[in-house]
Structure 1
């Protein structure tokens, strides 16, 4: 598996050679060569990490659904075919662009802390964080938001019935689908953790405990019944009634703290998206409790003060500037980012051009600054790991960018008995102990401490690009703490180097998050570049045995050409990614 990922990343290094495949635009176009060329279609497209889910979204588009209809269909289908991160028991963010209204909607359906949650709930008798408790138990689960998020989006901005858009997901769960190589490999890798939970073992493995082999039909009857209830009753079918009873019974039986009242009180929040500019482009991204939009804009503001293009793509000088900007952004993230309903996040200052100029003035262009010498800004001027992403676009230029998650791959590993779905471990995204790293090595402070009803800080970064008022791109990525830097580099490849969307996605990436003080480079960067960065003082890491995998993220992205065609980029870094258009 490791060698396969290295191979894919090395192939991606040549993505800059890619160019779109153009054809007669008077008829529907489908091109399925995602190694070097974007997939191209006229009427609509869905790109996600899983083929059957992308096709579910396309099915809805072909039936006349809009981008939100297709997005909801894709989201529910991923809960069936991509249980690593697709989910009913997690949460996330959806960005919607409605071109006729020239309006972007930011839907926050992030999980919430149960009412019984408290600041020190994951500390042991010595005052240290109990990693098992915060990551792998029922107490690790926040109140799920996915079902209400998807149903709310459909009710407010879709055109089709919930039963119609959920039909593909129900079919995939009830009739089954051929086990994919990607899911087979993933289940094998996480078999020990999943089999530790009897219900997860029943749902994802054969009765004798063996794996479903690639090509064998994989059915999930319990999940199918849960989906049918939701299709018939909407969000109430999840947050009340038999499904809720099963979830809370599991909590009570296994030491969880979530209650029926927590489920009934869950709400989706519609927030004001963040907007900024970069060399003639408009960037629109997710606001807190996502940290992604704030820090993508913060880093772009810093980088805009240099002639990045003249440095050469992924040159040592280019990567050095990216890296130093990342350090300052992640340092500020540790102190100033949290749920805006509980903490006054200084968004205006952090995303201002003036603050970026101050950071830029501190960066040594010849030497790396050790993370120990970088700290969150002492005083701001007054004002104040597995996830999945999919993007949808139609011929009118409407867009959806959606990122949602269970946090870890397969969440906390526990499935709700008789309901067929896994639960999240999003409580680990809070600062269980301010100043101590979470499971992704990210530091956090009081702004992200645990409080009842609070939403944990996230790195998820669904993002849109516009130019001259026209929609250009929808993107986002999984990847835990690396999501922000993956999105940053993907859109920079378009804005600075005029790459087509597939080339922008394929190019080798880097990541630095302030602490730990190490610069991660994907395969595909030259030995000379690594050596030069080392000479500048960067602690360069490239192996799979680090905190991150061999590759960074999976930026499922869509772009719109000047001719109105839709260009899709399924990220080759993760097997199964697929762009489905018509």
Structure 2
């Protein structure tokens, strides 16, 4: 494989470690991040000047997702004349088959759509909702203490799924193809099966214990008493049947028909609160994206009940006053300022964010530039502020993991940014018998008790307390960046509490440091969420940089990879994109 001349970077070790993520380019008309196993194409030299990593290129359309098969399905939809929404819906259903730890029909999520014809940007909220029987203290014992795992691995952990309603809504309103057509590839994959990758096999082994609790789950993901291994075939005929019902009857099959009956029966048998009436009551909500500007670009992302968009813009507002470009990517100065902005934003998240249909969320105040001025004045450019010294601010005066992301763009200028999830890997681990559908454990994203952290270590308060039909707070942050009113960047990531910072860093990498999607994906990332008081960094950050950060007062902790971005950038030559090398199964294809 040919390597271009390399531009200096903060860590030679990181560069060497990430060279495995360099793309293999296919000849026109298709350009893919890695050659599909059936292609057998050789890599070709491509003059990329002084770029470190070369992104995938395309002129007519592009799909970036966490699985090759799902990406190929999306590109095929585009080639058949479908638009970006058609392709995104097909990818969403396909990921439910080939990426069962996060792709789903039994979970929920968010989608940002830019409609080229109208110029409109819309946020589609298909987040799960709490069942009617849910109540504030449902995860506490008689002494008022949180019962371990009750909100994670029991039938009480399951929220009302929104994915089927959300994808169907997007297709009907903004797509061009029939639901049956975009579902057909996923149905075939579920019925015929697909090969288990080493990545999926590893996740099945890690989650062996909680998947093995349920017979319907074992019937899909186990063989001879052990989880499926790499190279074996994973078929899910019950899921194929469920998807066929949805293709024929629409979302009513899931929310009012035979699938609803089976989910409700599963819940009733094991003391879960979710009922058929809850499923029928589910509603998709269209919201106005939260918007801000950063160095002349317009940033649009998901509003509450996502906390992501609000705090991405809040952090960018704070950071805009410093010349990050002059400091350089992954420099101690740039990381220090980002970490300080992160701490301030996550402190506010703990206090103010929740479902806007149940609590007033001061989005305007939190994203106000004047409020950012106030917060920035609290940052010492040379010294870290201890988390204990940071309390939620007062935006009122300015008020007037296991998730997956995919990005799609078409030749007409439509783009779709979608993040959806089951919460933790494989969600609750519970498959509703006879459906093949894994059910979420999104109820853990509520605040079980104010001040008690959830599975991601996030603190919540009254704004995110459990209530019937309320949507739990989320970090999912599907994001688009506009330049002169037209899409310029489509991005997002999984990663639990680290989604917000990963997405923010991706925007900074492109705007401040002039990186392309491949370069931005390869850069080591950092994260601070206020509490615990640690600056989490990926392996590969320069030891010199770490020492400088520690001298500033940061408690630096080197931990596992953060985020798996799926990014598409619009350029004068067409589209460029890249799937994060942290997930070897991910693939971007352009044509």
Shorter-chain TM-score bucket reads over 0.9
Which one of 80, 89, 102 corresponds to residue 97 of structure 2? 80
Asked if structure 2 preserves the Cα contact closer than 8 Å seen for 1:113 and 1:142, the reply is: yes
The 5 A counterparts of 1:401-412 are: 401-412=417-428
What's 2:70 paired with? Answer: 53
Instruction: Determine helix, strand or coil for the equivalent of 1:135.
Output: coil
- TM-score by length of structure 2 reads 0.92
Asked if structure 1 preserves the Cα contact closer than 8 Å seen for 2:239 and 2:435, the reply is: yes
1:273 aligns with 2:289: yes
What's 1:547 paired with? Answer: none
Asked if structure 2 preserves the Cα contact closer than 8 Å seen for 1:18 and 1:500, the reply is: no
Mapped partners of 1:488, 1:515: distance in 2: 19
What's 2:588 paired with? Answer: 579
**TM-superposition CA deviations, 1:368-399 (whole Å, max 9, x none):** 11000000014631537310000000112210
Instruction: Classify 1:209/1:14 alpha carbon distance in 2 versus 1 (closer, same or farther; 3 Å).
Output: closer
Mapped partners of 2:229, 2:274: distance in 1: 36
Instruction: Classify 1:13/1:291 alpha carbon distance in 2 versus 1 (closer, same or farther; 3 Å).
Output: farther
Mapped partners of 1:353, 1:13: distance in 2: 39
Asked if structure 1 preserves the Cα contact closer than 8 Å seen for 2:23 and 2:56, the reply is: no
The 5 A counterparts of 1:554-565 are: 554-563=564-573, 565=574
Mapped partners of 1:14, 1:186: distance in 2: 22
What's 1:44 paired with? Answer: 61
1:222 aligns with 2:238: yes
**TM-superposition CA deviations, 1:526-566 (whole Å, max 9, x none):** 001111111111010003xxxxxx10010111111112x12
Q: Which moved more, 1:501-510 or 1:373-382?
A: 373-382
What's 2:170 paired with? Answer: 153
- TM-score by length of structure 1 reads 0.94
1:553 aligns with 2:570: no
What's 1:323 paired with? Answer: 339
**TM-superposition CA deviations, 1:178-211 (whole Å, max 9, x none):** 22222112112211211111111111112x1234
Asked if structure 1 preserves the Cα contact closer than 8 Å seen for 2:153 and 2:210, the reply is: no
Mapped partners of 2:18, 2:213: distance in 1: 42
Instruction: Determine helix, strand or coil for the equivalent of 1:165.
Output: helix
Instruction: Determine helix, strand or coil for the equivalent of 2:437.
Output: coil
Mapped partners of 1:288, 1:72: distance in 2: 22
Which one of 390, 395, 410 corresponds to residue 374 of structure 1? 390
Which one of 147, 150, 159 corresponds to residue 142 of structure 1? 159
What's 1:390 paired with? Answer: 406
Asked if structure 2 preserves the Cα contact closer than 8 Å seen for 1:432 and 1:450, the reply is: yes
What's 1:4 paired with? Answer: none
1:351 aligns with 2:367: yes
Mapped partners of 1:348, 1:18: distance in 2: 41
**TM-superposition CA deviations, 1:136-165 (whole Å, max 9, x none):** 101111100000000011111110011100
Displacement of 1:470 = 2.3
Mapped partners of 2:110, 2:567: distance in 1: 16
Displacement of 1:327 = 0.2
How many matched pairs?
Answer: 564
Mapped partners of 2:398, 2:199: distance in 1: 49
Displacement of 1:240 = 1.3
What's 2:45 paired with? Answer: none
The 5 A counterparts of 1:74-223 are: 74-206=91-223, 208-223=224-239
What's 2:357 paired with? Answer: 341
Mapped partners of 1:477, 1:38: distance in 2: 17
Mapped partners of 1:19, 1:406: distance in 2: 30
Asked if structure 1 preserves the Cα contact closer than 8 Å seen for 2:204 and 2:228, the reply is: no
Instruction: Classify 1:244/1:552 alpha carbon distance in 2 versus 1 (closer, same or farther; 3 Å).
Output: same
Displacement of 1:424 = 0.6
Displacement of 1:580 = 2.2
What's 1:512 paired with? Answer: 528
What's 2:38 paired with? Answer: none
What's 2:31 paired with? Answer: 30
The alignment yields a C-alpha RMSD, in angstroms, of 2.0
Displacement of 1:9 = 9.3
Mapped partners of 1:157, 1:519: distance in 2: 41
Displacement of 1:260 = 1.0
Mapped partners of 2:242, 2:385: distance in 1: 52
Mapped partners of 1:121, 1:86: distance in 2: 28
Instruction: Classify 1:20/1:313 alpha carbon distance in 2 versus 1 (closer, same or farther; 3 Å).
Output: farther
Displacement of 1:131 = 2.4
Asked if structure 1 preserves the Cα contact closer than 8 Å seen for 2:32 and 2:588, the reply is: no
Instruction: Classify 1:324/1:80 alpha carbon distance in 2 versus 1 (closer, same or farther; 3 Å).
Output: same
Mapped partners of 1:110, 1:43: distance in 2: 31
Instruction: Classify 1:145/1:458 alpha carbon distance in 2 versus 1 (closer, same or farther; 3 Å).
Output: same
**TM-superposition CA deviations, 1:42-65 (whole Å, max 9, x none):** 111111111111111112111111
Instruction: Classify 1:48/1:12 alpha carbon distance in 2 versus 1 (closer, same or farther; 3 Å).
Output: farther
Mapped partners of 1:65, 1:511: distance in 2: 38
Displacement of 1:73 = 0.3
Q: Which runs of 5+ in 2 are unaligned?
A: 1-10, 36-51
Instruction: Determine helix, strand or coil for the equivalent of 2:564.
Output: coil
Asked if structure 1 preserves the Cα contact closer than 8 Å seen for 2:220 and 2:234, the reply is: no
Which one of 453, 462, 470 corresponds to residue 486 of structure 2? 470
What's 2:440 paired with? Answer: 424
Which one of 450, 465, 479 corresponds to residue 466 of structure 2? 450
